[in-house]
Amino acid sequence: MDLFEYQGKSLYQSYEISHPKSVLIKNLNDLEKVNTLNYPVVVKAQVQVGGRGKAGGIKVVNNYQELEDSANAIFGMDIKGHKVEILLVEEASEIYEEYYISFTLDRSEKKYLMMLSSKGGMDIEQVAKDTPDDLIKLHISPSEGLIDKDLDNSILNAKLNQEYTVELIQIIKKLFELFVAGDCDLVEVNPLAITSSGVMALDAKVALDMNAKFKHENFQTLEDEIPIPEEEKYAKERGLNFIKLDGSVGIIGNGAGLVMSTLDVVAEHGGNAANFLDIGGGAQSETVSAALEVLETDPNVKSVLINIFGGITRCDLVAEGIVKATKGKNLKWPIVIRLDGTNALEGLDILKNNPNENIFISENMDNAAKLAVESGA
């Protein structure tokens, strides 16, 4: 579960991770709270998407009038489909240097992965692409933890300011403690900055492993604060595993692994998925109908790819669900279907006997993804 910045910084407090003093603003009446801070302050839109600054969702203000003007402008702003309903206002920092650091899990290595760079405050993907030597990677054994010598070498190799090595080590260790003890999937700080007040985490991008929810009472509180998109509410009510994404190709599959692979193949053909939608094993025709109804609520969807590999799931039942959901309708987008596995031939016969000019059948996943991307362009 991805957290808002202000939620991530609330976790920082529990682990004594230095960050700017701030207040949370939920409406314009809350602006009086900012009197507890020293100007200049930074007004930050709280949305679970990157690019806030470029969209005008981050402003530095020097007095109350500027604060009021900026808050009025940012509240209600749409940033990549996310409506701004909460602001975080924090004291501006006098920044000397900006760094990047993150902790995540590298499943292929079965180890934690720390990434560290002196090129903070920038798009880290661009840094990795343009100057890969500026991004230091350190794999950490879960059984050994973060070893002092390895951390010292990483700070040195990343070319961070050696005068602040002691402070950098302290805050990096605390971030790692948050990552492990807090059962996080990701802890990312961009920038981790050297400021006039010392080394501070100026940002907080934290994702929680909800499989560990039973261990943390605060997980439920944090989850309750995160608004669920209407599509996700609708899907949840129908027992579907759905996550909204930013692309235009709607994805329906059975099994998380297959859906993830489908997202990757769509990306290989130059497309971007509009969602992750797993109908699960043993899906019935009603499940498929509900999945298509969920995608109909998303105006960003331009084409749909249904990728089914039948095991427990019977392809003929999937086909029946598709026919039930589309028969007699003028579909708003083309649907590309790939069926394989249990009762695939029966499923294909059902589709062929109930033709629709906007439904296309593909023999394999690669061709299906290519067609879905092209038909939605």
Pick 230-375's CATH classification: 3.40.50.261, 3.90.226.10, 3.40.50.2000, 3.40.50.300: 3.40.50.261
Cα–Cα distance for residue pair 165/93, rounded to 1 Å: 20
**Strand-pair category, 95-106 with 184-195:** antiparallel
Report the CATH fold assignment for 21-91. Answer: Dna Ligase; domain 1 (3.30.1490)
Residue 214, pLDDT score: 93
Q: Residues 7, 83, 103, 164: is their CA dihedral positive or negative?
A: negative
**Closest by CA position to 134, among listed 147, 146, 125:** 125
Instruction: Tell me, yes or no, if 68 is annotated catalytic.
Output: no
Is this prediction's pTM over 0.75? Answer: no
Residue 289, pLDDT score: 84
Residue 213 to residues 183, 232, 343: CA-CA distances in angstroms? 9, 20, 38
Catalytic residue among 100, 112, 164, 177: 100
CATH superfamily of 95-221: ATP-grasp fold, B domain (3.30.470.20)
Residue 131, pLDDT score: 83
Catalytic residue among 90, 188, 231, 320: 188
Instruction: Tell me, yes or no, if 363 is annotated catalytic.
Output: no
CB environment 37-75: b (16+ within 10 A), e (fewer): beeebbbbbbbbeeebeebebebebeeeebbeebbeebb
Domain boundaries, the chain: 21-91, 95-221, 230-375
Cα–Cα distance for residue pair 235/280, rounded to 1 Å: 13
Where does residue 21 fall: left (phi above 0), alpha (psi -120 to 50 degrees), or beta otherwise? beta
Q: Are 276 and 259 in contact (CB under 8 A)?
A: yes
Residue 283, pLDDT score: 67
Cα–Cα distance for residue pair 276/279, rounded to 1 Å: 10
Residue 80, pLDDT score: 82
Q: Are 7 and 222 in contact (CB under 8 A)?
A: yes
Contacts of 282 by beta carbon, 8 Å cutoff, 6+ apart: 312, 313
DSSP result, 240-270: -EEEE-SSSEEEEESSHHHHHHHHHHHHHTT
Backbone phi, psi, residue 44, to 5°: -120, 125
Residues facing residue 83 across a β-bridge? 78
CB environment 93-102: b (16+ within 10 A), e (fewer): beeebbbbbb
Divide the 377 residues of the chain into consecutive groups of 10 and give the mean pLDDT of each group.
95 97 96 96 92 91 97 93 92 96 93 95 80 92 96 96 96 98 96 96 95 93 86 80 90 92 95 91 78 88 94 89 86 94 93 92 93 89
